[in-house]
Structure 1
Amino acid sequence: MPKAAVAAAAVAGPSNAFATMMSSAAENQAWKEAEADFHGKSGSGSGGKGGQRGGGKRERRKAPFFKVMQGMPIAVDAFRYGKIPGVTAYLLTHAHADHYTNLSASWKNGPIYCSEATANLIKHMLRVDPKWVHPLPLDVPTVLPNTGGVEVTLIEANHCPGSTLFLFDGLQTVNAGDSEFHSSWVGSSKRFRYLHCGDFRASPRHAEHPAVKGKRLDLVYLDTTYLDPKYCFPPQKMVIDACAALAKRIVMGVNDVNAQEQVRPKLSSMNGWFKKPASMIDGKGKGKEVAREKGRTLVVVGTYKVGKERVVRAIAESLSSKIYCQGAQRAIVKCQDDPELQSMITSDPLEASVHMVPLGIIQVDRMETYLGTFKGAFTKLVGFRPTGWTYTPPAGVDLNPSIAQIISRDQARTFTSASLQPARGSTAKITLYGVPYSEHSSFFELTSFALSIEWVKMIATVNVGSESSRAKMQKWFEKWDGERKRKSVVIVPRTPDYW
């Protein structure tokens, strides 16, 4: 197939039906190319990890078109593809493994641009050579070297510590990357604005940001993790406040659990995850006095290595408590640009009523073992497991609503501590709560964001591995576009933090 030139209509608005059709055909072909990577067919290796050629040389995976900014020598979250043809700047939205895959101490394919916190994290966690890592300031347009003068503005993503959106502004100067999906605007004098959302929790602050508000965005690379009407979970701030209020109520002595104590087999170990502190083994250390307090309730919050710290901090603040986490996690917190959180961290588990642990161990049997480790210091445990996948839509909810229904329905919803119910298997001693907390945008928030900014075209970046999934998302893009142009629905934010 010859190189597919994208008609001007692709980013500048359709001029005629033929141009629109050709643009659509070229994009469909680009998605088919991308599917080779999604299904492990990129290159000659099995599993898409780059196979071995006859001479034993490893073949590089080909980067899907949406990993390289159209007409610019810039790749975003594309480290798994190695040195991409024509790319001179590699940007990282945040320090989560699915975005920095294959980034390591051996990286030498080009300069990496990211926020300062993300720079600290990848140097610490991945041992990336500092000579490749270039932290950029938030909210300040910065020219990326060797990109033809493209400016980038980093915007707080409301995802995990250090996460950012990228607002690109510049000329199209080169068709970089592996894709056949090429732009006919390369070499023209037209400037383009692209907003790459990485992973984000959309809020009115994003739509009102000076780099975004009132600006025409030619392309929006959208985080579509929850682009489905069934994922209209509550606003993040409401959920955080509810967790803090519930923890305070329980720790102050109000028993919210009626479940009877159940006998469970004890696990012999937690795979080495937790070791008894010296203050519990020999009675020495600053935890000694705290350990003598009987009847304390331990609050345990599951987090990622990087992410969900807001829930922990809010609960700790409500209880006027320090936060305990293991040494490796403490080192990661030190990399983050959050002096307040850092000041709350302690290395003594008995000094804190709030512990931060890996999300995956928030299970009844493992929490029984965890509580047993502190025998004599804590008598019961309350655990929070914050994840958007916890959320299930109310019975009878319309999963194919109109835009107006989406807005009116979700702006009327509230969430309080009474909304949190003990998870199945909870007991009087071990009470766990699934929390519908996410650091990705809900469907309602994606809709509100799309109706609040000026954009020409959206490109999904998540759940794009099948044609049917892309088609469903494309229908919503079209609905948003139509509603936005009609201006028949007005969204008024309830607070600066959520619609």
Structure 2
Amino acid sequence: IGTPFTVDAFKYGAVSGCAGYFLTHFHYDHYGGMSAKFEGTVYCSEVTAKLVRVKFGQSISLVPLPTNIFIRIHDYDILLIDANHCPGSVMILSRLPNGKINLHTGDFRAHANMLEAPCVLADFVQNDLSNQRIDTIFLDTTFCAPQYAFPEQDLAIAAAVEISREALLRHPNALVLCGMYTIGKERFVVSLAEQLEARVWLPTKQRSLVVAAAEGGCEVCHRLRLRTVANPSEALIHVVDMGQLNPRAVLATFVPTGKPIIAWKPSGWMYNPCKRVTDATLRRLPCTSETFLRLRHCVSVEMIAKTVYVFGAAYSEHSSFTELKAFITKLKPMQVQPTVFGGAAREARKHIDGWLRSDETTDTSLDKY
């Protein structure tokens, strides 16, 4: 980010000349390499600091930073912005001594509020009145391809709620399962619980992190904590590890119970509106075929085994292709550095270069989540 700091680079150990180590959020692919013996100074959000303490204890030198306030660190002005990814996730805006401004998005789900006052990024939207411009954006390009035009989070949640309601009318004694990672998908779970007026059971690992995030100021985790019960028999919704919802695990764990189960896998990777669904599958659904077909841009059928139904929900905590395009065309930085590599990186680079060359600055596809 043009500073003597590193971002999410813990797997490299001690970095020569590094004045501080920034952590954008508490996902393993970003904090991997950190341990209780890590000796550098770690800067992160207040929520992420709580999560790091749960995992690694008190030995790490942590500096929790507030959001939306510039903080001077080693002659650099640093400001954290909510990244709308998982609890505690932030983007990092850095103002260099030479006046240049850089933005590291970490992992993020772009939405319109990021580019509107009072968010500081509103000052960098390019229009006839602009007098500031971001030099470099380090961009999360996880879904930087046109086929990833998945819906807003609220639409995916509403679709899951509607199908769950119909399924529960057919199977009143059913259990609803929601896949989660160690941290992430809390908004999906709590929204489902609130709209179904249901209680939630969390495994020990997730429960301790949700409690810590709530104590750190995460409003979504606070809402989820209020819905959580200790006794699983009192909860309609059970959170499970996402890996427990693969076909082999479902057949081994859930089908033998004989209990009707409505399971949800919320992820941008579940977006597949053209996936073929046979008439036989439609007849076996726990909702009407009309409901499913109307909502198929938000949901998919992953598996049906007896009365166990596994659905995908196109609920992403990364930006869609259209949201990335709107974010970049509105800010028009001098340059963009993708932070996701691999086979799709070259295609992402071509799209981004096209956005930077375009005269378009009025893309309206960046909607509020």
Matches within 5 A, 1:54-73: 69-70=1-2, 72-73=3-4
Q: Secondary structure, in 3 states, of the residue corresponding to 1:226?
A: coil
Distance 2:266 2:139 in 1: 23
Distance 2:151 2:182 in 1: 24
Residues 423/394 of structure 1: CA separation in 2 closer, same or farther (3 Å cut)? closer
Match of 1:491 in 2: 363
Matches within 5 A, 1:434-445: 434-445=312-323
> Can you list the C-alpha shifts for 1:248-268, whole angstroms capped at 9, x where unaligned?
222133x7xxxxxxxxxxxxx
Asked if 1:120 is matched to 2:29, the reply is: no
Higher Cα radius of gyration:
1
Q: Secondary structure, in 3 states, of the residue corresponding to 2:146?
A: coil
Is the CA contact 1:167–1:211 (under 8 Å) kept in the aligned structure 2?
no
Matches within 5 A, 1:360-439: 360-364=243-247, 366-367=249-250, 370-371=253-254, 379-392=259-272, 394=274, 417=295, 419=297, 423-439=301-317
The structural deviation recorded for 1:203 is 1.1
Q: Secondary structure, in 3 states, of the residue corresponding to 1:385?
A: strand
Q: Secondary structure, in 3 states, of the residue corresponding to 2:233?
A: coil
Picking from 206, 230, 236, the partner of 1:329 is 206
Distance 2:347 2:299 in 1: 33
Percent identity reads 31
Asked if 1:311 is matched to 2:188, the reply is: yes
Residues 90/393 of structure 1: CA separation in 2 closer, same or farther (3 Å cut)? same
Residues 314/158 of structure 1: CA separation in 2 closer, same or farther (3 Å cut)? same
Matches within 5 A, 1:77-476: 77-108=8-39, 110-127=40-57, 129-130=59-60, 132-144=61-73, 147=74, 149-171=75-97, 190-208=98-116, 210-215=119-124, 216-253=133-170, 295-336=172-213, 337=218, 338-364=221-247, 366-367=249-250, 370-371=253-254, 379-392=259-272, 394=274, 417=295, 419=297, 423-463=301-341, 465=342, 469-476=344-351
Residues 134/456 of structure 1: CA separation in 2 closer, same or farther (3 Å cut)? same
The structural deviation recorded for 1:373 is 8.4
Q: Secondary structure, in 3 states, of the residue corresponding to 2:108?
A: coil
Is the CA contact 1:239–1:416 (under 8 Å) kept in the aligned structure 2?
no
**For the aligned residues, what is the CA RMSD?**
2.3
Distance 1:428 1:318 in 2: 27
TM-score with structure 2 setting the length: 0.84
Q: Secondary structure, in 3 states, of the residue corresponding to 2:327?
A: helix
Is the CA contact 2:151–2:297 (under 8 Å) kept in the aligned structure 1?
no
Q: Secondary structure, in 3 states, of the residue corresponding to 1:296?
A: coil
Distance 1:314 1:351 in 2: 18
Distance 1:309 1:245 in 2: 19
> Can you list the C-alpha shifts for 1:435-471, whole angstroms capped at 9, x where unaligned?
22221111111101111214111001102x57xx544
Is the CA contact 1:104–1:128 (under 8 Å) kept in the aligned structure 2?
no
Residues 418/457 of structure 1: CA separation in 2 closer, same or farther (3 Å cut)? closer
Residues 87/365 of structure 1: CA separation in 2 closer, same or farther (3 Å cut)? closer
Distance 2:92 2:139 in 1: 11
The structural deviation recorded for 1:356 is 0.5
TM-score with structure 1 setting the length: 0.63
Match of 1:262 in 2: none
Distance 1:306 1:394 in 2: 30
Distance 1:421 1:228 in 2: 20
Count of matched residue pairs: 337
> Can you list the C-alpha shifts for 1:122-175, whole angstroms capped at 9, x where unaligned?
111233625x1111111111112xx2x21111111111111000111121xxxx
Residues 447/393 of structure 1: CA separation in 2 closer, same or farther (3 Å cut)? farther
The structural deviation recorded for 1:372 is 6.8
Distance 2:12 2:103 in 1: 22
Distance 1:363 1:219 in 2: 39
Consecutive unaligned residues of structure 2, counting only runs of 5 or more, are 125-132, 276-292
Is the CA contact 1:298–1:354 (under 8 Å) kept in the aligned structure 2?
yes
